[in-house]
Structures are given as C-alpha cells and as structure tokens.
Structure 1
Amino acid sequence: MMRKIFLGMAVLSFLFSSCEDYLEEENLSNVTGEEFYVTETGFESLISANYSQLREIYGGDALMFVAGTDLFAEGRDPAFIGLSRYTELNPQSEGVEHLYNTGYRAIQVANMALHYAEITEQTSQLDTRIGEIKYLRANAYFLLVQTYGGVGLVTDYISNPVLEFERDSAEAVYNFIISELEESLNLVEEGAYNGRVNKRTVRHLLAKVYLTRGYEDFGDQSDFTTAANYADEAIAGQELTIPFEELWWPGNEENEEVIFSVQYDDSSVSPDLDNRGHNQANYYSSYLGGPEVAEDAPYRTSILSPTQFAIDLFTEDDARWYATFMYEVFGRYYDYYDVEDHDALVVEHYYEPAWATSAAEKAAYIANHPEATYHEYGTYAPFFNPSSDFSTIPVRKFDDPTSPFGAGTSTRDIILSRLAETYLIAAEAYLQAGDAATGLMRLNEVRERAGVEPAVLADFDIDFILDERARELLGEYHRWFDLKRTGTLVERAAAYHYLIEEGNFVGNGGELKILRPIPQSAIDLNQNQDFPQNPAYE
C-alpha cells in the first residue's frame, strides 16, 4: 500500500504558496483554491504548474546530471567537490539535495492535480491531462530512484504534515514508474510534439526505464527486449535528417526530432536578467572574462569543462565536433550567430583539433589570424591550466545569443529527449537483449547523420555505445545516469577525470558511492529513527 510521506516544510510551503504563485494571474477573484481548481480554467492552471516544475528540476545546477563523470571536470572553480570528486560526498554535500527536493516538489504538485482531477469539471481533455500528469510524476520518480535508490512512494495529495516515513525498495519504485507510464500511454494523444507529453514522449521514457531496470539485480533479461520494442515504437521509422549544426542552432528547439523538452519563452520568465531562464549554457567552458568583457563574452562558470577524453572522442569527419565546440572564438563571442560573414571577423582564440597539429598547418593558421591566441591540441582540458580565462574549450551547443551579455541565464528550451537518443537507447537495448546486429544498425543511423564511418560488429559493445552517446549527447543531462546504469561509473570516472581515483568512491564499510546520499535535511525531519541512509554514507 502506498504511503504518505513528510517531505519537509519546504514542500508544504510550496503547496500553499508556490502553486498559488503559478495561478495568481488566472485566479483574480477571491475564490478559494477548492473552488478554483474544480473549474476548467483552474484545473488547466494546475497542469501548467506541473509542467513548470520541470524548470525547477532542470533549470538550475547541472552538477547532478553530468559532474563526476568521464566527460567533465571542474576548471578554475572547485565548487560541488563532493559531486565532482566523490571523496567529500556525504549527506550534507553541496548540491546532493537538488533532485531530492525538486523531485518531491514535482511529485506533490502532480498529486495535487490528480486529487482535483477526481472532482474538477469534466471536459473532453481531462483524461489526456491525467496522462500528462502521470508521465511527469513518473519522470520525477525515475530521477529519484536512479540517484538515491529506493525512496518513499507518495501517491496522495498531502494537506497536513506527516512526520514519519519509510523507504520503499527500488524495485517497488520501478514497478510504480512503469505502471504510471503505461497508464499515461493509454491516455495521452498521438501526433507531433507541441510541448505537451504525447505517446511518443511516453514510449521514449518507457524504453529508458525498462533499459535501466534491466541492469538492476531485480531486473530481467526481458526488460531489454521490452526497451528495444518501445524505442522502435517511438522511432516509428523516422530517420535522422536534420544536420547536427542545424539541430542545435539557437531558436530551432522545436524541430521534428525533439521528443520532450523544458519550454521557455520571454513572456513566461522573470524580467530579472540574472533569473530570467535557466543555466544550462553556463557550465561547459572555462571562464570567458569578467565584467570588463561582459559585452563581448557570455557568462561561464568554469565549474564543468570537457575532459581530454571527451575532446579525444571526435574525429575530423564528425560533424558533431564543429557543432558542439566553439573552436574559434571571435572578438565578440555571439558574432558566430549574429554575423553571417565570418571571414570578416577577428578570431581571438583558436582551439587546435587533433587533425590539424602539423607545424605547417599551425604556422599557416597563425599567419592568417595574428590576433588569435593559439591553444595547441592537448593543452585545453581542465588538467592543464584551469585557472585562466579561455583555458578550456567552450561547448557551444547550448548557446543563447538572445541572452544579455554577462547574464547567466538562457531562455532556450532544454531538450530532455530527442530522436537520436531513442536510436541509441534501442542500440543498447538490442545489444543487451542478445541481438547485436539490430543494435548496430540503430547506432549506425546516428553515425550516418554525423558523417562518420559506420561501426562494425566486432567493435560493438557497451563501451562503444557509451562513447557514441558521449559524442552525440555531450552536456545533455544524461551522462551520470548512463555510467551509473551500465555499471561503468567507477571505471570511467577514475580513468578519465583527472581528479578522481577508484579509491574516491570507497565509503563507509567499504561500500561504493554509486548512489548519492539521502540529504541530511530530509533525514533530520523524519521522526522514524529506522529510516536508513544509503550504505556508503551510514
């Protein structure tokens, strides 16, 4: 039986204030929430509040999604050391509470909407909206169970504090997620993605959930086959036809390959320049200069910069290198997007790729661009000189040239699911299901769009898939989950993150720090003294 859970006063405060804030513009009279939410307008406002929770989950720090992996290491800013290096990872570490808090807030807003769905005005869209809510609740639980393991299942709308709670098993949480998504699949609509959850959105997530469960000790080999089937249903025969550069061009976030995203627009975000959108673009680069260059360069934190391993993954014929990295930085950074004729622009920084390292090529480039600082290949990963501006190569695929210079926010949509990842999920699922030949075909669809040679069966294993996911999805909030899912987190982080050794993962009693710790704040609020912390942190 599902249990209520006390999530802390922050969540209860959220229920009675934040939700109302979302609805403030619509609820202009003095009617109570009970009266408002049972109307069509009020209930639709609750649906909007559910989608808005995605901004809380994904719009802040990127650390829990990509830090402490093979692809990113901190540059000049040693923030979030626990998440990035594991040695100082504990229940009070900076950032470990983010997904716990935002995940449960999203769950409670979903529970609130499902509560009112039973008593609100009946409309032709009501069942569809219930399906959307169930997807969003399942997505929050999927983030929680991957990150923290078994967590408390909450299915009731909480109006009063519950001061004791227990942890459900990870197996129970996965079963609930799958049940929710299968219900959602029966309720939501087919058709092109328009910002709302549709059947393709659900199939993609079902594929990923089954794929992830297949690796668990309570999973089953059939989970991989089911994952492959759901992925193929989501692909539905659609080919990858959009050039990678165009796929990530600012303003093209609603292209036909997007399956689900966190949506933003200028009319729905804060007018405060420092809080008007999200922070995805901020992390993947060295610092690009202080206030004195605010009109020329966007804000970057240097908290996450591509490792040498990430840089080494690309070859000259891979279109993803050119669209992922800003390997030439002009005097005004955003002129790359705003000025059509690049030949007339002055290059200030050049990051030499692996295939252009001959003395003759270097001399020719310097002669043609005498103003440029020339960063030789192998010198612009965080290991070498992380304390200097422009010391690591910027990742540009999330750039927002409409963001005010110097401000750390973007109003581009955050892409959570897209068709190329569906192909890669299918590739991995088929491999693990014992059908490597079909899996290879799915993976080579992704490589074909990138312009690289097809992979061969002799090379096709989980490491090749992880490398391909790195090239295709670099920075897209998947990497920690990819390594955790496939059991390669310790091996790959220790091999390719210059500040991590395998010993960094060893916690209390020799347990490995694979799961993140339950936040101490959540444990302190629980009056059930038998509530267990994850073993490595006990």
Structure 2
Amino acid sequence: MKKKNLLQKYISAGTLLVFLLLGIYACDEGVLEETPLDFISTSNAFNSADDVEMGVVGLYSLARDWYSAVNEKYMFVYVALGTDEAYFGEDPAGGYMSNWDTEITPTGSLPKTYWTKAFDLVYQANTVIAGIESIEWNNEDKKNLYLAEARFFRAFSYRILVTMYGDVPLITEPVTSAKTDFVRDAASNIHALMEEDLAFAAEKLPVRGQEASAGRLTQGAAWQMLSETYLADNKYQDAADAASHVINDYGYGLMTERFGSQPNLFGTENVYFDLFTKENHNLSSNTEAIWVIQNDPDVTGGGFYAGERGFGCAYYRMGNTPDGYKAFRGDLYDNSYTGYSDTLGRPVAWGRPTNYTAYDIWRSDWDNDYRNSEACVKRHFYFDNPSSAYDGMEIDWSLYESRSSAFKDTNQYIYPYFMKVAAPNDHYTDLSRAGGGVNHKDLYAMRLAETYLLRAEAYLGLGDKGLAAADINTVRERSNATPVLAADVSIDYILDERARELFTEEWRMLTLMRLGKLVERVRTYNNNPGNPGASIQDYHSLWPIPQTEIDLNTGAVLEQNPGYEE
C-alpha cells in the first residue's frame, strides 16, 4: 500500500471545502448577509496560508473528479465514448452516445452536466484566487505558488468549456450573488486568459521533483497545457517551444526499460505495461509522468478509477460452455467461486473499442509493437471451468452450434481489453466481485509521450514533417514500432498514433473538437453495430449551450450554437 502523501492527507477536508464552496449557489436571498456564516467566501474562508492550502486542495479534488468520476458513464464520454475510439458495448443500439442526434441537444443531460461541472471549477478557482489576494503574505513565493495552482485549474476548466462549447462567458472574479446577465466571450479571449494563467503557472510552480507531494502540479504540466492551448489558437511555434520546455528542461524522459513493480501475468509484459502498473506512476524513477491523479483506497475521499468497469469486456456474462457448464467459474473467495477473474475485474463494456481502435491501427506492426502485446491488449480468453471438456480452451464462437445473444458476443462479452485500465489481482473493495469494476490505481493526466505528439503536431503546422516524424518516432521506437516516414506524417497519422499510445488516457472528444475532426472521424470510424456513425450531425462539432442556462439568463442574451436553435 502506498503511503498517504500531503495531497491525500488533506483530501477529505478539501472535499468538504468544495461542498461548502458549492453551497454559495444554493443559498436563498435571506442568507446573503454582509458577513455570510454558512458558506465559503473570500471574507470568511481565507485568513491564513493554511486556509488557502485547504482551498487549493479543494480545487485538486474537483479536478480529480474529471478523471475519477463518481458518475462513471459521463467520464467515459469525453475520454472515448461516442468518438472514433469507442461505442457503448453493453447496449450499442440504445446506450450512451449511441445517437448524437438525440443525446447532444440543448435539453440533454450531458451538455448540462459538463457545462455545470466545468463552470463550478471556474467559480471555485476564482474564489480561491481572490482569497489568496485578500490576505497578507510574508512569503511572496508561497503566495505565487498557490496562485499558480489556482490559475492552472481555471485554465484547466476553460480548456473544457471553450473546446466543447466555443464562445463562453469569461469570468475572472468570484460570483457571490445571483447573476442573470452572462454573455458569451470570443474563444480568442478565453484562449488569451488561459495563456496568461498558464504562463504564470509555468513560471511560479515548482520544477519536477520539488513539488510538495505526489500529484501536485509542476512547471512541466503548465507548459504542456500551454502547448495545447497554443495549438488551439494555431500558434505553432509557441506550441513547439512550450512542448520543448517540457521535453528538454526538467529531467523528463520516456521510459525505455522495465521498471518498478514488474508482474508477470501474461508472459508478454514490457515497459509500456509497467507504465500502468499500480504503484509505478509516482516513482521518482518514472521520468515519463508529468501530472498524476492520485487515488487511494486507504484515505477517506481518496478516489477510485472505474476504468475496468468502463473499458473492459463483460466476459462473465457470456453464459455457458458449448457443453453446458458455466463458462467462467472465477476465483475462490470466502469458500465459494465468484464467477469473476481478479485479473480482469468486473467490467460492464461501456467503452467497447471501435474496430479502428482494436484492430485497424495495429495492422502494420501487429506482432512487434509492444503496445499491442497480449499483456497490453488482451485478445485471447479461455473457458474456465474444470467440469467442462472445454476447460482451458480459447473461447471461439464457432464452437457453438447457435447462440442466443450473437449481437452481444463481440460487443459486450468478449472483445480486446486494454489492460492499462485494469489492476490485475490488486483490488481493495467489493472482493466478492473482483473489485466491482473499480480499482485504486493512479492515473496519468499528463505524460511525456503526449508531449512529443503535441510537438509533432506543432511541427506539422509549421510545415516541418521531418521534425514531426522525429518526435512521433521517439514514441514509436520506445514500443518497438516501425518508424514513420516524414512523407507519411499527417494530422490523421498523429491522431492514429495518439490512439495507439493514449487510448483511455487522452480526452479524445476534446482532441477531435480542437482539431475540427470530430464529425468526420466519428462518421468514418465509429462502427457501432446498432447505429454506425452514431447519427452525428455537422453542427455537433460544438456542443449546445444548455437550454436551462439560456432560460435563466434573463438579463442578457446567451446565444445558442448554430444548429441547435429552436
């Protein structure tokens, strides 16, 4: 079990502060006295550096919810679901993001959820920033460190909002009373604020290795997000320079040899597998990690990851062997067999990889790319019941004379399982169900492989395919993949490489939206068998402003995005 770090020590109290901060929006008019007593404001929450520390940790807690979400289905949408990378395998015809035309609407729950969630973090960041400025400091460096963290999270939130919704209200001060006259600011103004916030953070945050505890932000994280922000504004040289700071200045490096905990479960483990092994994320020897989201089962409010539940196949639901015995007996727990493998967990098949993700992008290097090894992408599953003559044999649907759920066989029950989301034999809760679909491994919010691919994108934008290919090949060569020729580099190739390297990690929805490639690639690659292309429309290149926000904004016009008007 890893030691509790400073961030985890404060997480429970920080979460309480988050709820108190959120309470400001639920207070009725009778509560809004000059000196509020039952909600957090700059006048009563921040009296010392310790108060600021609690406020900043509350921001970390809110940001972590985007990675370790309580409502897991929402989390998997911006990560992969409904994009070119994944569809809802449990119910392809009617599950989440199976039909963009009916789900992504002004009254839909997803647009409202993300809008509210992102603006909540903007509001809290502004409150913490104002609180920092409201008290006297004996240590200017400490003040600037806290400001850097809070301003990073404001930029973090606006990255989501401006990418998904386009022009959005620009808010830089705490909202302390009802406001009904928001207007949309140009995306260029949002980017300018983000660039200012992130440049400040890149200067004032600590360098790698000097952060207070695992999971705290460093200059490298700010430079990386700044690089992506410049790309969104077509500032390619600035983007390349920002990425180069991360690559060259802080001691980061791709992991090229096996390290840390090195389990041998499948016989084909490699350095890429080690990157995602529990306990390896925060090792000082892991020079690839830039910002790691902290999860811990031993801390109240410590967080969890539902990657198994979302991305793994529901193998345990497939029914019987061809000769009529339960196909999966499972592991022995509390004197009975569970029906689940603790190696695989209890997935639900929400994020079934598209054929593009599971097969097409690997074909040229199928046998030599480490990322496609059996340990990294489990493609072979075996009957597990000694009572059956098929025990130990590989599952092959042709062994059956007929199947009552043929539609579910390869969409829900058995499909390539990307093991980077799993914590084999390392579950702490719901042990009778092999963890119940969740684990407590930490998560990369940023790692260096993505930095190289961001810089490759910048070089491509500058017209230098040679430098772009060199950065792509730095990533590919680590995984023993064939180098790409400069002539073959394109934005689509970079997106393919991001899928190979970053599936389940990057927020694919935002990447495709930023590049203007969402609609095209969903139509091309989302092979949801219940609705190929998921009925995505041209106007879905941006999400709608939630209708409730428009209706409540009676003091000004909050315009709707094109295509969603009544």
Instruction: Pick the TM interval, shorter chain.
Output: 0.7 to 0.9
Matched letter for residue 518 of structure 1: I
1:450 to 1:162, Cα distance in 2 relative to 1, 3 A: same
SS of equivalent to 1:431: helix
- Post-superposition Cα deviations, 1:185-232, rounded to whole Å, max 9, x if no partner, equal 222122326322211111111111111221xxxxxxxx0111011111
SS of equivalent to 1:373: coil
Q: How does 1:478-497 map to 2 (within 5 A)?
A: 478-497=507-526
- Post-superposition Cα deviations, 1:262-320, rounded to whole Å, max 9, x if no partner, equal 2222343449xxxx523233211332436963575523222211111112212110100
Cα distance in 2 for residues equivalent to 1:168 and 1:49: 27
Report the equivalent of 1:233: 245
Report the equivalent of 1:408: 437
Cα distance in 2 for residues equivalent to 1:397 and 1:256: 18
Matched letter for residue 371 of structure 2: R
Report the equivalent of 2:228: 208
Deviation of 1:533 (Å): 1.2
Report the equivalent of 1:93: 108
Matched letter for residue 218 of structure 2: N
Report the equivalent of 2:339: 293
1:30 to 1:144, Cα distance in 2 relative to 1, 3 A: closer
Q: Structure 1 residue 518 and structure 2 residue 545: aligned?
A: yes
Report the equivalent of 1:446: 475
Report the equivalent of 1:432: 461
Cα distance in 2 for residues equivalent to 1:409 and 1:228: 37
Cα distance in 1 for residues equivalent to 2:484 and 2:411: 38
- Post-superposition Cα deviations, 1:408-437, rounded to whole Å, max 9, x if no partner, equal 333222211100000010111101111111
Contact 2:217/2:291, CA 8 A, preserved across alignment? yes
Contact 1:74/1:304, CA 8 A, preserved across alignment? yes
Report the equivalent of 1:316: 367
Cα distance in 2 for residues equivalent to 1:439 and 1:94: 39
Contact 1:64/1:96, CA 8 A, preserved across alignment? no
Report the equivalent of 1:327: 379
1:39 to 1:171, Cα distance in 2 relative to 1, 3 A: same
SS of equivalent to 2:101: coil
Report the equivalent of 2:421: 398
Matched letter for residue 205 of structure 1: M
Contact 2:278/2:442, CA 8 A, preserved across alignment? no
Deviation of 1:131 (Å): 0.7
TM-score of the aligned structures, taking structure 2 as reference length: 0.75
Q: Structure 1 residue 372 and structure 2 residue 394: aligned?
A: yes
Deviation of 1:76 (Å): 2.2
Q: How does 1:10-29 map to 2 (within 5 A)?
A: 14-16=22-24
Q: Structure 1 residue 106 and structure 2 residue 121: aligned?
A: yes
Deviation of 1:150 (Å): 0.9
Report the equivalent of 2:77: 63
SS of equivalent to 2:563: helix
Report the equivalent of 1:263: 294
Matched letter for residue 307 of structure 2: Q
SS of equivalent to 2:535: helix
Cα distance in 2 for residues equivalent to 1:32 and 1:164: 23
Deviation of 1:490 (Å): 2.0
Q: Structure 1 residue 279 and structure 2 residue 310: aligned?
A: no
Matched letter for residue 223 of structure 2: R
Cα distance in 1 for residues equivalent to 2:392 and 2:534: 46
Cα distance in 2 for residues equivalent to 1:282 and 1:530: 41
SS of equivalent to 1:278: coil
Cα distance in 2 for residues equivalent to 1:80 and 1:226: 43
Cα distance in 1 for residues equivalent to 2:122 and 2:281: 26
Cα distance in 1 for residues equivalent to 2:448 and 2:397: 34
Deviation of 1:438 (Å): 0.9
Cα distance in 2 for residues equivalent to 1:424 and 1:530: 40
Cα distance in 1 for residues equivalent to 2:46 and 2:446: 31
Q: How does 1:498-513 map to 2 (within 5 A)?
A: 498-499=527-528, 504-506=535-537, 512-513=539-540
Report the equivalent of 2:330: none
Deviation of 1:164 (Å): 2.3
1:502 to 1:372, Cα distance in 2 relative to 1, 3 A: closer
Q: How does 1:373-388 map to 2 (within 5 A)?
A: 373-374=395-396, 385=408
1:169 to 1:268, Cα distance in 2 relative to 1, 3 A: farther
- Post-superposition Cα deviations, 1:234-286, rounded to whole Å, max 9, x if no partner, equal 11174422421111112212232111132222343449xxxx52323321133
Cα distance in 2 for residues equivalent to 1:115 and 1:484: 32
Cα distance in 2 for residues equivalent to 1:30 and 1:520: 30
Deviation of 1:82 (Å): 6.8
- Post-superposition Cα deviations, 1:143-192, rounded to whole Å, max 9, x if no partner, equal 11001111111111122111221111111111111111112222212232
Report the equivalent of 1:363: none
Cα distance in 2 for residues equivalent to 1:415 and 1:121: 35
1:247 to 1:165, Cα distance in 2 relative to 1, 3 A: same
Report the equivalent of 1:51: 60
1:417 to 1:385, Cα distance in 2 relative to 1, 3 A: same
Contact 1:329/1:347, CA 8 A, preserved across alignment? no
After TM superposition, the structure 1 stretch with the greater mean CA deviation from structure 2, 310-319 or 383-392, is 383-392
Matched letter for residue 274 of structure 2: E
Aligned sequence identity (%): 26
Show structure 2 runs of 5+ residues with no match.
Answer: 1-17, 27-36, 70-74, 257-270, 318-336, 399-404
Report the equivalent of 1:129: 146
1:11 to 1:251, Cα distance in 2 relative to 1, 3 A: closer
Q: How does 1:326-365 map to 2 (within 5 A)?
A: 326-329=378-381
Matched letter for residue 516 of structure 1: W
1:389 to 1:484, Cα distance in 2 relative to 1, 3 A: closer
Deviation of 1:12 (Å): 9.0
Cα distance in 2 for residues equivalent to 1:15 and 1:414: 29
Cα distance in 2 for residues equivalent to 1:434 and 1:32: 50
CA RMSD of aligned residues (A): 3.2
Contact 2:254/2:287, CA 8 A, preserved across alignment? no
Contact 1:270/1:277, CA 8 A, preserved across alignment? no
Contact 1:325/1:393, CA 8 A, preserved across alignment? yes
Contact 1:269/1:277, CA 8 A, preserved across alignment? no
Report the equivalent of 2:503: 474
Deviation of 1:451 (Å): 0.5
Contact 1:40/1:123, CA 8 A, preserved across alignment? no
- Post-superposition Cα deviations, 1:371-413, rounded to whole Å, max 9, x if no partner, equal 331369xxxxx99645875222222101132243242333222
Cα distance in 1 for residues equivalent to 2:397 and 2:452: 35
Cα distance in 2 for residues equivalent to 1:397 and 1:102: 27
Report the equivalent of 1:352: none
1:165 to 1:90, Cα distance in 2 relative to 1, 3 A: same
Cα distance in 1 for residues equivalent to 2:396 and 2:339: 20
Matched letter for residue 22 of structure 2: F
